[in-house]
Amino acid sequence: MTIIALLTALAGSPNFDGLATWYGVGDGSGNVFRSGEMFSLTAPVCAVDASLWPELQGKTLLIVSEERAVGLRVADSGNLYAAGKFRESLFSRHFVPVGSPAGVGPELSVVVDIPRGAFVNAFGDAETRRVAVWVVEGVEDAQSDTKRHGRADLRPDPGNDSGCTSRAGGPVAI
């Protein structure tokens, strides 16, 4: 059973299904996330489509690929849906624009964009991933937790019977 199938059985259908990509090169000096925080390539945060910002800003998303899962806080937004639709490549693990003769499978949109360093920390490399995404309610901000305790608190939330979420905002490999 895959991680996605297990979480779907425990938590219900994901809020979003699509692609996770990365952004940012260099050190990003002087840039800020939409939340107003200083940009960092390794920050445990992500961006969602600008149309979803009012609803999702500051919330934690559980982002799950076939092999890994990570919890990241929404601190940025962009025009992710404007990137278009993609399909898996018939010849590689990559994704190609809809209309390409090499594309197979369902049409997918980019649903989450992650700073490059955080993406590599979460998934092990910089390859675009197909992901399922759950909005995790009642999760504390990992940075404030780290400030209070000197580390992120990764214990399961005692009010959550499933044990699938943590109080940290990530990145937390499961």
**pLDDT for residue 36 is more than 90:** yes
Question: Residue 90 pLDDT > 70, yes or no?
Answer: yes
Q: What is the mean pLDDT of residues 63-91?
A: 93
Q: How many residues does the chain have?
A: 174
Q: Which of 81, 82, 92 is nearest to 128 (CA)?
A: 92
Separation in Å, CA 124 to CA 34, 86, 90: 26, 22, 23
Domain 3-149: give its CATH superfamily: RlpA-like domain (2.40.40.10)
| 3-state SS, residue 84 | coil
Among 11-25, 72-86, 140-154, which is the least confidently predicted range? 140-154
> What percentage of the chain reaches a pLDDT higher than 70?
76
Give the pLDDT confidence score for residue 11 in this predicted structure: 78
Query: Lowest-confidence range among 20-34, 61-75, 103-117?
Result: 20-34
**Count of alpha carbons within 13 angstroms of residue 79, beta-carbon side:** 3
Residue 157 scores a pLDDT above 90: no
> How much is the pLDDT for 8?
74
3-state helix, strand, coil in the chain (%, to 5): 20, 35, 45
User: Checking DSSP bridges between strand 103-115 and strand 16-23, what pairing results, if any?
Assistant: parallel
Nearest to 64 by CA among 1, 138, 141, 146: 1
Contact 73, 141 (CB under 8 A): yes
Q: Taking the model in full, what pTM does it have?
A: 0.74
Sort strands 129-136 and 60-64 into parallel, antiparallel or unpaired: antiparallel
Please give the pLDDT value at position 32.
Answer: 92
| Per-residue model confidence (pLDDT) at position 1 | 59
48-62 residue pLDDT tens: 999 999 999 999 999
What is the structure's pLDDT at 126?
A: 85
Percent of the chain whose predicted confidence (pLDDT) is above 90: 57
Give dist(CA 110, CA 78) in Å, integer: 11
Give pLDDT tens digits for 138-152. 655 444 443 333 333
Domain extents for the chain?
3-149
Q: Which residue has the tokens 């490399």?
A: 125
